[in-house]
Every structure is written in C-alpha cells, then in structure tokens.
Amino acid sequence: MPATATTDPTPRHGDRGTAASVGPRFPRTLTIAISRQSGARGGSIAKRVGRLLGWQYVDQDLMEFIAQQGVPSGDEMSAAARAWADRRLEELRVAGNLGSDPQATHFARVILTLGANGEVVLLGRGSGHILPTASTLHVRVIAPRADRIAYFSQWQRLTPAEAEREVDTRDQKRAQYLLDQFGVDAADPVHYHFVLNSSLLGVEMCADLIAQAARARLMSEESTPADEPAHG
C-alpha cells in the first residue's frame, strides 16, 4: 500500500528559479482540486468556482474524455509541461505515493498535465493527492448523509432506498480508490486545506469561499520572495 507523501520536491509555483535555471518552471500557478462525498453537490460547487475565477473546470466525464483522446497540444500545453508531468509521476512512484493500477496512472498523468499550467478546477480522481501541495488548493465538500440521499433521490429520480444504496456505493468506491492508489483515508481532514459542509453553507457560499481562498493564496505567493520556502 502506498504511503502518504510527507515532502514535496516540486518548486513553489511562481518561483522563477535561479539564474542557472533553464526553461519554464511548473506548475506555473495554482490549481484547485475538489474532493467530495456523493450527493454533497461538489460538482455544482466546482463548476461555480471555475466561473467565478474564469478558470477551466474539468469534471470526471471530461477527464475521461481527455484520457481517451489525449491532452491537446499547443502553446498552453507545451512539451516542457508534459515533461514536468512525467517527472512528477516518477517522483510519486519512487516515493510510494501512487498505486500500480495502469488506468489510475494514466489518469494521474492527465491530471498532472492539466495542472502544469494551473488555473484549472479539477473534480475528483485523487487530483489533490497527485498535484504538488505547494501549487494546489485541496478542498473537501461534505454534507449529512440524509441530505445527500435526499438530493441524490431528487437528482437521479430514485426512490429513497435506491438513492441510499447509490450514495453508499459511490462513497465506498471513491474511498477504496483513494486508499488503494494513494494510501489515504478520504475522510481524514488532514489531507485538505479546508472542509466545507454544503448543507450548512449552500452551494454559492461554498464556491465563494473556495474562490476567495484561491485569490488569497495567489496574492500570498506573489508577495513571497522566491528564495523563501513555500507554505501549504
């Protein structure tokens, strides 16, 4: 079983490096990774965060499409960004922080390539455990089980009993995926910058808080001299 990472060798985003550095440094700026309980409306919150910041939003459907079709090449996704993603992937393997499943590894490469340039909101797939802590805002969205079941029943037009089974099954699969691939307990709050209860706060406030935290993080990084260690 992979162990949880304790160190992050990747330079702080925004760090332009020393005079000896050659080429761009990655990640270029912040990425937001959102983890969620099933039915906690994490997708709606993530999408709203993307709109508030003007960033790309990538949910699991789009992530799967990109995994099948490949990440588009061009100025915004250079060979240097791809090379950084491969190096980070190897670091995760060597550190024992990535499982051996080929499909999970492929998704990890997609997530890293998307995160290399930053300004993207990623939903699920363990994004926050793959990307460097210093360049990622990792948020967990939760809600009481009864509220999640009620929402799922309405959203998917299921009976309460069907919705209950679906919510529990999805939660169990996600938790097992994170445990198998990254060796982490999804419910442990220590893995996240903060945890939001969408039933108490609502979708709009949750999204607003995440966007505000992202802006504050970016401002803090911009004001930190390049030779100081990263926080987060």
147-162, pLDDT tens digit by residue? 999 999 998 899 999 9
Q: Is residue 170 part of a domain?
A: yes
Supply the CATH number for residue 147's domain.
Answer: 3.40.50.300
Structure tokens given for 59:
């949910």
Residue 24 is predicted with a pLDDT of 61
Q: Is residue 6 part of a domain?
A: no
DSSP the chain: -PPPP----SPPTT----TT--S--SS-S-EEEEEE-TTS-HHHHHHHHHHHHT-EEE-HHHHHHHHHH-PPPBTTB-HHHHHHHHHHHHHHHHHT-S-S-HHHHHHHHHHHHHHTS--EEEESTTHHHHS-GGGEEEEEEE--HHHHHHHHHHHHT--HHHHHHHHHHHHHHHHHHHHHHH---TT-GGGSSEEEEHHHHHHHHHHHHHHHHHHHHHHHHHHS-TTSPP--
Q: Is residue 101 part of a domain?
A: yes
Q: Is residue 102 part of a domain?
A: yes
Residue 27 is predicted with a pLDDT of 78
Q: Is residue 196 part of a domain?
A: yes
Q: Is residue 212 part of a domain?
A: yes
Residue 182 is predicted with a pLDDT of 86
Residue 78 is predicted with a pLDDT of 73
CB atoms within 10 A of CB 62: 14
Q: Is residue 14 part of a domain?
A: no
Residue 227 is predicted with a pLDDT of 43
CA–CA dist 95, 97 (Å, integer): 5
The amino acid occupying position 31 is T
Structure tokens given for 134:
């210093």
Split into its structural domains, the chain has a count of: 1
Contact 20, 108 (CB under 8 A): no
Side-chain half-sphere CA neighbours of 212 within 13 A: 7
CA–CA dist 86, 144 (Å, integer): 39
Residue whose tokens read 């393997």: 93
Residue-number span of the structural domain to which 175 is assigned: 31-223
125: left (phi over 0), alpha (psi -120 to 50) or beta: left
Q: Is residue 4 part of a domain?
A: no
pTM of the model: 0.79
pLDDT digit string (tens) for 172-193? 999 998 998 888 899 999 999 9
Which residue numbers in the chain have pLDDT < 50?
1-22, 75-76, 225-232
CA–CA dist 95, 54 (Å, integer): 34
